[in-house]
């Protein structure tokens, strides 16, 4: 069965991504791909970070001695194939080499910030701009975005609780487009907010299905959204809807969403990987035709 439309039509890769014997999926919170099209899956289970090849063959797992079982949330692959993990219950961000070696930890693992607004209190995701700045959405305990240098120096923070411009009701994901504009999934306000890289409000996309995660195609001005309300949608950079599927109700049909799309990434071929949360984890691959 086909999903999407026009240039953005996909077929479901049935049975993609088989786990080793006796392993189980937890909530699949995040997915990322590297330049070799390895697929990294961050989920809430005893093997928290699992690596597959593009064909869905298991390669390895990372972080059993680092992550707690329920801490997984955000995942970001940078241009050098480093991987950045965000732990909501661990209150920290970690940088990993392409070989799975821990390089840096931001925040104090297991300890939320003492003061409201300080990093971190249940952070959600991370992204890097072309100028070499690191942005962290800090959303379940705080209502903030933090800007860092790549070596971990805090430069500034912005955001507060609320529904106005620059206010958040769960800053759930951060991504940076090719113009170095900072996009935030303001999930419970059902919108995306867009800022300059200094935190000045530009505009919003309202009326979304509780957006969880953004993915930008690095080769085109296309925006992919995983929305909590059982929907995947694809947009132009200026906010024109191209196509979508799912939405409005849970569906157990293959290729639709019984649970809640949460993790989202694409490989170099344009194939999409979507992880679901809420009841049990499910990972689906959509092959672009």
In 10-107, which ranges are continuous DSSP H helix? Answer: none
Percentage of the chain surpassing pLDDT 90? 93
In terms of Cα–Cα distance, which of 180, 164, 120, 179 is closest to 144? 120
Token pair for 281: 């984890």
> What is the three-state SS of 164-215?
CCCEECCEEEEEECCCCCEEEEEHHHCEEEEECCCCCEEEEECCCCCEEEEE
In the chain, how many H helices and how many E strands? 0, 27
Is the pLDDT at 250 greater than 90? The verdict is no
Answer for the pair 30, 262: CB distance below 8 angstroms, yes or no: yes
Distance of CA 184 to the CA centre of its chain: 11
Q: What pLDDT band is residue 253 in, cutting at 50, 70 and 90?
A: confident
In terms of Cα–Cα distance, which of 9, 191, 256, 74 is closest to 183? 191
Residues in the chain: 289
Token pair for 111: 């300890």
Predicted pLDDT of residue 117: 97
Which helix H or strand E contains 83, and what residues bound it?
strand 83-87
Longest dimension (CA), the chain: 51
pLDDT digits (tens, 9 = 90+) for 8-50: 999 999 999 999 999 999 999 999 999 999 999 999 999 999 9
- Compute the distance between CA of residue 42 and CA of residue 24 in angstroms, rounded to an integer: 13
**pTM above threshold 0.85:** yes
Token pair for 14: 């049935």
Average pLDDT over residues 254-268: 93
* Ranges of each domain in the chain: 2-288
pLDDT digits (tens, 9 = 90+) for 46-103: 999 999 999 999 999 999 999 988 999 999 999 999 999 999 999 999 999 999 999 9
Residue linked to tokens 């306000």: 189
Say if residue 120 is preceded by a cis peptide, omega within 30 of 0.
Answer: yes
Computed over every residue of the chain, the mean pLDDT equals: 96
DSSP state of 247: -
Q: Which CATH number fits domain 2-288: 2.60.40.290, 2.120.10.30, 3.40.50.300, 3.20.20.370?
A: 2.120.10.30
Give exposure, 62-89, as e/b (b: 16+ Cβ within 10 Å). bbeebbeeebbbbbbbbeeebbbbbbbb
Q: What pLDDT band is residue 278 in, cutting at 50, 70 and 90?
A: confident
Q: What pLDDT band is residue 241 in, cutting at 50, 70 and 90?
A: very high
Predicted pLDDT of residue 219: 81
The Cα angle at residue 81 between residues 102 and 289, in degrees rounded to 5: 135
Distance of CA 226 to the CA centre of its chain: 9
């Amino acid at each position: 069965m086909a999903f999407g439309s026009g240039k953005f039509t996909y077929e479901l890769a049935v049975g993609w991504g088989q786990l080793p014997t006796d392993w189980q999926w937890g909530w699949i919170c995040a997915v990322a791909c590297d330049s070799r099209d390895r697929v990294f899956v961050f989920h809430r289970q005893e093997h928290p970070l699992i690596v597959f090849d593009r064909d869905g063959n298991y390669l390895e797992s990372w972080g059993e001695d680092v992550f707690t079982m329920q801490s997984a949330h955000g995942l970001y692959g940078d241009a050098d194939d480093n991987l950045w993990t965000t732990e909501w219950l661990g209150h920290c961000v970690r940088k990993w080499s392409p070989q799975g070696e821990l390089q840096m930890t931001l925040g104090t693992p297991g300890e939320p910030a003492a003061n409201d607004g300080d990093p971190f209190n249940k952070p959600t995701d991370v992204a890097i701009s072309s100028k070499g700045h690191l942005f962290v959405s800090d959303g379940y305990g705080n209502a903030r975005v933090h800007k860092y240098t790549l070596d971990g120096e805090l430069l500034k923070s912005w955001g507060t609780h609320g529904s106005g411009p620059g206010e958040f009701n769960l800053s759930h994901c951060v991504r940076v487009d090719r113009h170095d504009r900072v996009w935030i999934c303001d999930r419970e306000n059902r919108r995306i907010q867009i800022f300059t890289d200094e935190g000045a409000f530009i505009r919003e996309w309202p009326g979304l299905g509780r957006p969880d995660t953004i993915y930008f195609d690095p080769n085109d001005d296309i925006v992919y959204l995983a929305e909590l309300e059982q929907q995947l949608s694809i947009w132009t950079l200026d906010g024109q809807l191209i196509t979508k599927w799912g939405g409005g109700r849970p569906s157990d049909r293959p290729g639709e969403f019984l649970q809640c799309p949460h993790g989202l990434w694409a490989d170099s071929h344009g194939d999409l990987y979507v992880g679901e949360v809420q009841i049990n984890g499910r990972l689906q691959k959509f092959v672009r035709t």
